């Protein structure tokens, strides 16, 4: 991940976050036009996310929920001011799935990527702060006046019955030599249909490895007995219609 050292005004953040920035070196590691992500390298390493007010609450709550299951970082602080949300997260040791050492071993990467998704989907759903992710997606699409009749005619009924990441792409999993360390960027998660994550898992492998050769390995490692081809087609079309 590209990072550049910057000068940062500590007075611009809420008082509860300032102590973590004192004496720290700050790096900009943003990869989004809508949110700023800063690496705070001080007595402790952490990531500070800054985004429009109201946009980071979901990530905060999902991170807290999955941290209890020991598969996400600790949320150190979450605050808002008039304009922005501020989310301070502990830095997970390791590298994301797009690190060179991971991409240089594509077969192993595809297999563990499938295994770790199965682990996520096997968690108990009790206590998850967000339900009905498919319903949310369809509601958002309808609000944009997207014609979803093709989905209704597909014959597949989405089932929101597992914890999904919501953006299951290689940059959002942290590993240390392929050993799982944590999921990050959980702002689209909740109880949803497994095939949504499976779609994005296939997409990111093809995008980052420049081939669809490793998709079958990913699905095999996840477990073919859990996969409905109609479900994959349903969410492929939903993403195509809404992106």
| CATH code of the domain in which 168 resides | 3.90.1200.10
Q: 227, 199 in Cβ contact below 8 A?
A: no
Say what the pLDDT of residue 189 is.
98
- 30 and 126: one domain? no
Domain boundary among 34, 63, 90: 90
Reported as a pLDDT band with limits 50, 70 and 90, residue 167 is: very high
Domain boundary among 90, 115, 134: 90
What is the arithmetic mean of pLDDT over 105-123?
A: 98
167 tagged catalytic: yes
The CATH number for 78's domain is: 3.30.200.20
Q: Which of 85, 160, 167, 193 is catalytic?
A: 167
Reported as a pLDDT band with limits 50, 70 and 90, residue 2 is: low
- 32 and 128: one domain? no
- 83 and 104: one domain? no
Main-chain phi, psi angles of 17, to 5 degrees: -95, -25
Residue 201 has pLDDT above 60, yes or no: yes
Count: domains in the chain: 2
- 27 and 124: one domain? no
User: Taking the CA of residue 236 as centre, how many other CA atoms within 13 Å lie in the half-sphere pointing to its CB?
Assistant: 12
Q: Which domain holds residue 40?
A: 4-90
């Amino acid at each position: 991940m590209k990072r550049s050292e910057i000068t940062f005004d500590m007075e611009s953040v809420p008082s509860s976050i300032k102590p973590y920035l004192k004496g720290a070196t700050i790096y900009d590691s943003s990869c989004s036009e809508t949110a700023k992500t800063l690496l705070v390298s001080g007595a402790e390493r952490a990531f500070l996310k800054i985004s429009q007010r109201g946009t980071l609450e979901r990530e905060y709550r999902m991170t807290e929920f999955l941290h209890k299951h020991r598969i996400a970082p600790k949320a150190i602080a979450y605050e808002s001011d008039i304009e922005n949300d501020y989310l301070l997260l502990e830095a997970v040791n390791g590298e994301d799935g797009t690190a060179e050492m991971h991409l240089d071993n594509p077969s192993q990467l595809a297999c563990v990527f499938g295994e770790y998704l199965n682990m996520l989907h096997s968690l108990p759903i009790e206590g998850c702060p967000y339900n009905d992710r498919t319903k949310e997606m369809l509601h958002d699409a309808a609000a944009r006046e997207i014609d979803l009749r093709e989905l209704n005619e597909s014959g597949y009924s989405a089932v929101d019955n597992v914890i999904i990441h919501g953006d299951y792409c290689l940059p959002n999993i942290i590993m240390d030599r392929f050993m799982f360390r944590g999921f990050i960027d959980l702002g689209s998660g909740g109880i949803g249909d497994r095939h949504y994550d499976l779609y994005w898992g296939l997409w990111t492998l093809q995008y980052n490895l420049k081939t669809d050769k490793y998709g079958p390995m990913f699905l095999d490692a996840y477990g073919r007995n859990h996969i409905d081809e109609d479900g994959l087609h349903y969410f492929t079309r939903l993403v195509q219609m809404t992106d």
